[in-house]
Amino acid sequence: MYPIRRNRRLRTNEAIRSLVRETIISPNDFLVPLFVVEGKGVKEEIASMPNYYRFSLDLLEGEVKSLWSLGLKSVLLFVKVPDNLKDNKGTEAINTNGLMQRAIKAVKNVCPDMLVMTDVALDPYSSYGHDGIIENGKIINDDTVEVLAEMSLSHAQAGANFVAPSDMMDGRILAIRETLEDEGYTDTGIMSYSAKYASAFYGPFRDALDSAPAAIKDIPKDKKTYQMDYSNRFEAIRETEMDIDEGADIVMVKPGLCYLDIVREIKNEVDVPVAVYQVSGEYSMLKAAAEKGWLDHDAVMMEQITAIKRAGADVIASYFAKDVVKLLS
Ligand code: PBG
């Protein structure tokens, strides 16, 4: 039909572009990951994640208030566990006075309306840096699931709104849902890391929590027996549908950028909200390129976040959340 249809008419100036724009980013899109450490007065930068920090509980309170004032209303908590509290079974994970349990209360104390989600997996508590219990060189599924259910219950008891199992054990969503129901935590939600790939993009996160899989004889060196093979697509749909059947309220695809095909496919397939985790390595890559002056940090950040939402993300977990919201305002 050219030239009756000239597509450039809708791109003539910012007014018309903004009028027909399909994907709009707002503070409501974000879930902010927070790293928590023991101690007092600690705000330490993570070496491989420039301008991202671990906070002790006292300073976490100020950070949470500042997020709230920016319109960021949901956080996802991770804890860095001291080495002497780590073991194979993740015993510390169910300590009712553990760092995670205290962190949940600290956030709720300064900001009762902040939505608190917690990471549920054994790796920060495991002396081997794995998300499951190890026996004879293998990650044992069902015994791990029992601990994950207890861990979830203890987070709910401490006041978490949602638990977010990131371990990829089979059957954990059902076990967690049943435990929460049995104990009366019917309103505690589950955001399942449903399609979580075995990815090299998690490197900086493992620095942040000192949780990399151990290089010890007879201990698996990677997470490929539980996290998904990045060559697979159908498997992501199967994992996600099973988690919904087991009771997941929100499902997730992780990492983000390399997996937007999966995000769109799942978004088309399911009727629950889909979260996407733009992971640590994605954050660090852009920070490094920007530091070198090779990429325009803010422009690339917005392009990436918009692409994630355009692909179908209802929720975006991102270390850029604060930067994005400040840029928007
Ligand atoms: C722990 C967990 C990981 C991430 C979130 N939860 C690391 C892993 O599975 O090894 C990665 C997040 C990131 O890289 O930003 N189970």
Residue 273 burial (C-beta neighbours within 10 Å; 0-12, 13-18, 19+): middle
Mean pLDDT of 247-257: 98
Please determine, for residue 231, whether its predicted confidence score (pLDDT) is greater than 90: yes
Pocket residues: Cβ below 6 A from ligand 1: 119, 121, 123, 131, 166-167, 202, 205-206, 223, 279-280
Q: Mean of the pLDDT values across residues 309-329?
A: 98
pLDDT tens digits along 121-156: 999 999 999 999 999 999 999 999 999 999 999 999
| Spacing, Cα 214 to ligand 1 middle (Å) | 15
Residue 82 reports pLDDT greater than 90: yes
Distance 124 CA to ligand 1 centre (A): 10
Nearest CA to ligand 1 atom 11: 202
Q: Give the pLDDT band of residue 1 (cuts 50, 70, 90).
A: low
d(CA 243, CA 52): 31
Task: Determine the atom of ligand 1 nearest the C-alpha atom of 212.
Answer: 10
Nearest-CA neighbor of 316 among 90, 72, 113? Answer: 72
| Residue ID of nearest Cα to ligand 1 atom 2 | 166
Q: Are strands 115-120 and 74-79 parallel, antiparallel or unpaired?
A: parallel
Residues identified as active-site: 196, 254
pLDDT at 245 over 80: yes
Give residue 4's pLDDT band: very low, low, confident or very high (50, 70, 90): confident
Beta partners for residue 189, in sequence order: 162
pLDDT (mean) for 71-97? 97
Of 197, 202, 278, the one to substitute when testing ligand 1's pocket (max ligand atoms within 8 A of C-beta) is 202
% of the chain residues with pLDDT over 70 = 99
Average pLDDT rounded to a whole number, residues 72-90: 97
What's the pLDDT at 25? 98
pTM of the predicted protein model: 0.97
Q: How many other CB atoms sit within 10 Å of the CB of residue 21?
A: 11
Q: What pLDDT shows up at residue 34?
A: 98
List the domains of the chain with CATH numbers. Answer: 24-328 (3.20.20.70)
